[in-house]
Structure 1
């Protein structure tokens, strides 16, 4: 249920994660390096890291700070709290009881936000209610809490929970295009409260996890709840998966449309509705796979360029710098 290891996230995710810590810069750099991220990328505005790198850095910071939501809120959530939360949720008869227990748990451990569970117009709302003035401007904390609610609900029910609506009580961020992969539902910014809306009928869904599956879920945290894949819902993700199977060979939109049993016109219309194009998906896939191989292997850069579909190394360098703002060599971790 986690995202493909070839996917990437903006470097701003890393910057926001580090911003809440009180660790000295030298220690931050050491942990970034330990997570497999080239520290030089922190200063590159359009750089990206793999979801595995981000999750590794998250775990390192959580351990270093003894805080399972590292540095995001006014007091730490101590190690083991997330396990106790999940154990209490497993005893729930259905999702409704689990979500209520979720709100009660964070009432005990979180001072910055209260989580309000209510019904509105046939929908169930899980809203973050700021309790301090600082919480209002804590955009990253709100993003993480919304993802935690959704990720845990999806894990408990054994399927990717659809969302009727997502409200964000902050302006549209620069990385808003990433939200299509984070939240499976229409997102609205500049709202009164940050909130997730589920269909009311979803609350009757039984809990399908147990203590045995909990161990696996915890071992993959935060990837297990933060980077949940919605491949079967998004046409763009299906296109990406098709292209990934033929990475390194020329594949046109007509070929992909045939493999998805649709017309080019229909495919293009669906992609436009999801805010992307065939070419943008192809470029993002090649970018993400290149970053993955640059950071996880010692394969020569020219070979990686060929593997993602570039016969000419110069063309690959030019395209990669356009995508990320950095050269491929910048992603190679200097040991």
Structure 2
């Protein structure tokens, strides 16, 4: 997971719908270190750790490991039992089948359907008969459980052939480049992940000794994919993260990646992004990390991410997040 990655405030808002009493929201946000004022800004972001802390807090308080996402709670300990059952599978494809059977016992609103066509395995979320598809966060988190747990068992992030979603692009669609490491398509007939079969016909590589740490950090370790995944936008971000203080023009990055500017721009466009968008998102995320985790002066933070003029940094940050840098300082 890229250490600097942040999460759209939409995820926090959706997660808090599990708590029907709005009066309790402020206390939960404070416990996770999230400034309540950010809830009113459509472009606001939180760190991965802040979101994970909030998620774990609600999971404990509600005794629901998928907080409020389905018609009945997934009680505490379910994820541990799921992982234990998958650890003994002879390969990842059998482990995925066990995952589908496990959630069939726990969730009434939908089932996980696994089909194989030629050399591709499709893992689809199928609504219960007569039911509407689950809300967006529930579908996102279920696919992240599928991908995150399977990747953990494999000992590496599994590449995806594609990821389909049955809803239009949400406001935070740009985050999908880091949620799902492969081509993403919206307005599809169903929500599903597609794996190359050869990536699943391999043995599991984890054991019970490593399970405790994985569960302790959930959902942080399976929410975002590693920037080591060789999706071109991840590679661009990875390079820029080590060269934030300089101008770093696109031709420099193209040279490092052994391609022309035109080829790089085209490949980024296919992934639904651009060089400038990646650069701005990285600057925003690094700034938020430094603002929330350190006492570094704002002007120094601006300089670290390539802004010589503090006023220019203030304007850019306000454009990116809807708030001033001071709004992200712990109170």
**How far does residue 255 in structure 1 lie from its aligned partner after superposition?**
2.5
Tell me how large the CA RMSD over aligned residues is: 1.7
**How far does residue 280 in structure 1 lie from its aligned partner after superposition?**
1.8
Aligned with residue 167 of structure 1, among 164, 167, 176: 164
**How far does residue 133 in structure 1 lie from its aligned partner after superposition?**
5.5
TM-score w.r.t. length of structure 1: 0.93
Which moves more between the two structures, 273-282 or 84-93? Answer: 273-282
Q: Could you tell me which residue of structure 1 aligns to residue 2 of structure 2?
A: 4
Matches within 5 A, 1:86-235: 86-131=83-128, 135-235=132-232
Which moves more between the two structures, 67-76 or 197-206? Answer: 197-206
State the SS of the aligned residue for 1:294: helix
Task: Please tell me whether the aligned partners of residues 5 and 52 of structure 1 are also in contact (alpha carbons under 8 angstroms).
Answer: no
CA distance in 2: counterparts of 1:86 and 1:135, whole angstroms: 28
CA deviations over 1:76-121 (Å, ceiling 9, x no partner): 1111111111011000001121111101111111111111122234
Task: Please tell me whether the aligned partners of residues 183 and 271 of structure 2 are also in contact (alpha carbons under 8 angstroms).
Answer: no
Tell me if 1:63 matches 2:60: yes
CA deviations over 1:253-277 (Å, ceiling 9, x no partner): 2332333343333333322322222
Tell me if 1:257 matches 2:254: yes
State the SS of the aligned residue for 2:112: strand
Task: Please tell me whether the aligned partners of residues 113 and 135 of structure 1 are also in contact (alpha carbons under 8 angstroms).
Answer: no
Q: Which blocks of at least 5 consecutive residues in structure 1 are unaligned?
A: none
Tell me if 1:312 matches 2:312: no
State the SS of the aligned residue for 1:136: coil
Q: 1:284–1:118: structure 2 CA closer, same or farther, 3 Å change rule? A: same
State the SS of the aligned residue for 2:200: helix
CA distance in 2: counterparts of 1:254 and 1:123, whole angstroms: 36
- How many matched pairs? 331
Q: 1:99–1:234: structure 2 CA closer, same or farther, 3 Å change rule? A: same
Matches within 5 A, 1:268-283: 268-283=265-280
Which moves more between the two structures, 206-215 or 243-252? Answer: 243-252
**How far does residue 139 in structure 1 lie from its aligned partner after superposition?**
1.9
Q: Which blocks of at least 5 consecutive residues in structure 2 are unaligned?
A: none
Q: 1:37–1:29: structure 2 CA closer, same or farther, 3 Å change rule? A: same
CA deviations over 1:216-246 (Å, ceiling 9, x no partner): 2111100112222253312222221222112
CA deviations over 1:125-144 (Å, ceiling 9, x no partner): 21111126565252211111
Task: Please tell me whether the aligned partners of residues 11 and 47 of structure 1 are also in contact (alpha carbons under 8 angstroms).
Answer: yes
Q: Could you tell me which residue of structure 1 aligns to residue 47 of structure 2?
A: 50
